[in-house]
Chains A and B, each alone.
Chain A
Amino acid sequence: MLDLHDITVTVPDGEATLSILRGADLQVGAGEVVSVSGRSGSGKSTLLAIAGLLRRPQQGTVTLQGRDANAMSERERTRARRDLIGIIYQSAELFPSLSAIQQLELVAHISGSLDAAARERAGSLLGIVGLGDRRDNLPGKLSGGERQRVGVARALMNEPSILLADEPTASLDPDRGREIMELITAEARRRNLAAVVVTHDPAHRDLFDRAYDLAAGTLSSPSTGSASGTAPGSTGA
């Protein structure tokens, strides 16, 4: 479903180049929910950007549903983001001028399919995340937990195959965070999605099929032993 192989990402750092990812591998099948943990700056967001087709790696292959994402044009990647991928952001990233239901309707509008069925789907998604009675509230009138629920519903609105979440509980208190994480993992399994959740919070490891650690630019599964605290290394120019 989602297959990242030998992903290398470097960024210029003054005279030198800084390696963010060095040969990272990650395979997630449909219905699997995995977590990626690591210190801040370890490249977790970069990994999500690669998986979400927001960024191209310098090296390595990204395969979505059997298609090589590196071979796609920017236009095709934009369309793949629209049709295949749902992303949940750390602080929900809602549009301030749109009500909860409109956040979801916008997704359908972008793909040119904002019809009665889409409006109905948006309403039922808000019901699923527990916001059926707050659908007309603007983000400013929602609590942090409620905003993140809207964010989850929005990520599911385009009926994606791949669900990515970037620290979805980082700005919530532990109880709200647990609820959100349970919601994400349950919905991903129910919809048979390939899901990657980036989190630095070890408290939710029980919710995932596999938990990876990102360190020194590579991914390792805890079962194979890892979780060192090495920072990403620098190579010479």
Chain B
Amino acid sequence: MYLALRDLRATKGRFVLVGVVIGLISFLATMLAGLANGLVDDGISGLRALPITHLAFAENSHASFSRSVMTEDQLEAFDVEGVDATPVGVSFVNARPAGPDASGETIDVALFGVDGNGFLAQSSEAPDGTDVAAAIEGGLVLSDELETEVDLGEEFTIVGTDTTLPVVGFTFAGTYGHVPIAFTSLDTWREVVYGDGSQGRFSAIALSTGDPAALDSAATQTGTEVFTKSEAYAGSPGFSAESGTMSLIRGFLLVISALVVGAFFTVWTIQRTRQIGLLKALGASSGYIVRDALGQLAVVLVLSVSAGAAIAAGVGSLFGDGAPFSLTLSSVVATALVLGLVGMAGSLVALRRIISVDPAISLTSGV
């Protein structure tokens, strides 16, 4: 890269220009990655945290808890060797501080009703060691992100019902459908949703098994649809639309980035056609010239992509809890790597041009 680095220094202006454009694209791509991760977390972190492998939903419910209603008969079918199954009820509710002198805000929660005897409650343990199964009987265990707003022992009335429940603990429950999760017992959940007429209904069956094939016959027999845990993310309200939008924007950014680099590099190559011819006349192989050019591009890409990503990560960390933004080092690095590779790919068109330059153009005239 003898010539390339000196060209880079001598014609800083034009490289700074394209570097800023690529840096901005990198900034955008990293911000989007952070927002996409944040939105995903906001949508399904609670579901992801559950110690389950699969979920069974009623037919045609598309992994959406609110569309799915199931009965005890269907649950019994999943009583198979090697499979843990327990019913869960999920619905979105508002909880208003109870009592005449209550002043707190009404909170939105995803109310998860869990069978205290099922594997879900039995295998969970609150950080302070309290027995989750016992705690959720007649109370709410809230996602710990509500700990700053809500006091232990505070009572909440579920809006639209007569049910009033005390907050009995906090746990790392995460969120579902962009609202914090509140665990309670399945019976309490039924009371909230169906009043006295629940007839043993619930939303879905949480499953844990090392042998997914064991679920097939039960699913066929009961007419239920079994999803893996990550397939079930799609049922979270807004999840598909959000992740689809984010993927689309990121895809576009990558394409734009490839085109910007490709266009810049092509114009730059055309501008220095004579110089390339001269290098060839001096006995430089196409390989030498291509290495030179790619090295130059790599320097520009590495500097601009990493600057953009670093600024985005910095800006993102200032968001705090105000926005759903979550960025890990690995996703920053992955985004930057993909951008860099796409940029290199964009330059391939220009490389063909380098190879086809005629060394004879270095002489006065074409004739």
For the complex, would chain A's binding face be called helix, strand, loop or mixed by DSSP majority? Answer: mixed
Contact with A along B1-26 (1 / 0, CB 8 A): 01100110111000000000000000
**Of B213-221, B283-291, B311-319, the one touching chain A:** B283-291
Contact with B along A157-182 (1 / 0, CB 8 A): 01000000011000000000000000
A215 to chain B, nearest CB (A): 15
Instruction: Report if B256 contacts A (CB, 8 A).
Output: no
A98 with B6, Cβ < 8 A, contacts A20-B367, A54-B363 known: yes
Instruction: Report if B362 contacts A (CB, 8 A).
Output: yes
Instruction: Report if A119 contacts B (CB, 8 A).
Output: no
Asked whether, in the complex, the Cβ of B283 is within 8 Å of the Cβ of A83, the reply is: yes
Instruction: Report if B38 contacts A (CB, 8 A).
Output: no
B272 to chain A, nearest CB (A): 10
B346 to chain A, nearest CB (A): 24
User: How many A residues, CB 8 Å from partner?
Assistant: 40
By beta carbon, the residue of chain A nearest B7 is A97
B322 to chain A, nearest CB (A): 48
In B58-113, which residues have CB < 8 Å from any A CB? none
Q: Which residue in B2, B9, B358, B365 is a CB contact (below 8 Å) of A109?
A: B2
Asked whether, in the complex, the Cβ of B281 is within 8 Å of the Cβ of A87, the reply is: yes
A167 with B3, Cβ < 8 A, contacts A79-B283, A95-B275 known: no
Contact with A along B189-221 (1 / 0, CB 8 A): 000000000000000000000000000000000
Instruction: Report if B278 contacts A (CB, 8 A).
Output: yes
A110 with B364, Cβ < 8 A, contacts A95-B3, A97-B6, A102-B6 known: no
| Complex-state Cα separation, A138 to B10, whole angstroms | 10
Q: Give the residues in chain A near B288, CB-CB below 8 Å.
A: 110
A110 with B6, Cβ < 8 A, contacts A46-B367, A48-B363, A95-B275 known: no
Instruction: Report if A146 contacts B (CB, 8 A).
Output: no
B56 to chain A, nearest CB (A): 66
Instruction: Report if B324 contacts A (CB, 8 A).
Output: no
B304 to chain A, nearest CB (A): 20
Asked whether, in the complex, the Cβ of A78 is within 8 Å of the Cβ of B280, the reply is: yes
| Complex-state Cα separation, A40 to B11, whole angstroms | 35
A45 with B364, Cβ < 8 A, contacts A81-B283, A82-B284 known: yes
Which of B10, B279, B358 counts the most chain A CB atoms within 10 A? B10
Q: Give the residues in chain B near A105, CB-CB below 8 Å.
A: 2
Instruction: Report if B360 contacts A (CB, 8 A).
Output: yes
User: How many B residues, CB 8 Å from partner?
Assistant: 26
In A7-33, which residues have CB < 8 Å from any B CB? 11, 20
Asked whether, in the complex, the Cβ of A82 is within 8 Å of the Cβ of B282, the reply is: yes
Q: Which residue in B282, B283, B367 is a CB contact (below 8 Å) of A43?
A: B367
Contact with A along B327-367 (1 / 0, CB 8 A): 00000000000000000000000000000001110111101
Instruction: Report if A124 contacts B (CB, 8 A).
Output: no
Asked whether, in the complex, the Cβ of B282 is within 8 Å of the Cβ of A166, the reply is: no
Q: Give the residues in chain A near B281, CB-CB below 8 Å.
A: 52, 54, 81, 87
| Complex-state Cα separation, A79 to B359, whole angstroms | 13
| Complex-state Cα separation, A20 to B72, whole angstroms | 95
Asked whether, in the complex, the Cβ of A75 is within 8 Å of the Cβ of B285, the reply is: yes
Instruction: Report if A208 contacts B (CB, 8 A).
Output: no
Q: Give the residues in chain B near A96, CB-CB below 8 Å.
A: 10
By beta carbon, the residue of chain A nearest B284 is A110
Asked whether, in the complex, the Cβ of B283 is within 8 Å of the Cβ of A158, the reply is: yes
| Complex-state Cα separation, A96 to B359, whole angstroms | 19
By beta carbon, the residue of chain B nearest A79 is B283
Contact with B along A203-228 (1 / 0, CB 8 A): 00000000000000000000000000
Asked whether, in the complex, the Cβ of A81 is within 8 Å of the Cβ of B7, the reply is: no
In A74-123, which residues have CB < 8 Å from any B CB? 75, 78-83, 85, 87, 89-90, 93, 95-98, 102, 105-107, 109-111, 114
Could you name 6 residue pairs across A and B whose Cβ atoms are closer than 8 Å? A54-B358, A54-B359, A82-B282, A82-B284, A90-B364, A102-B6
What is B's interface to A at a CB cutoff of 8 Å? 2-3, 6-7, 9-11, 274-275, 278-285, 288, 358-360, 362-365, 367
| Cβ-closest 5 pairs across A and B | A82-B283, A97-B10, A54-B360, A81-B283, A109-B2
Contacts beyond the supplied A49-B363, A54-B280, A89-B362: 12 A-B pairs with Cβ under 8 Å: A40-B365, A45-B367, A46-B367, A52-B281, A81-B283, A89-B364, A95-B6, A95-B7, A97-B3, A106-B3, A110-B282, A110-B283
What is A's interface to B at a CB cutoff of 8 Å? 11, 20, 40-41, 43, 45-46, 48-49, 52, 54-55, 75, 78-83, 85, 87, 89-90, 93, 95-98, 102, 105-107, 109-111, 114, 138, 158, 166-167
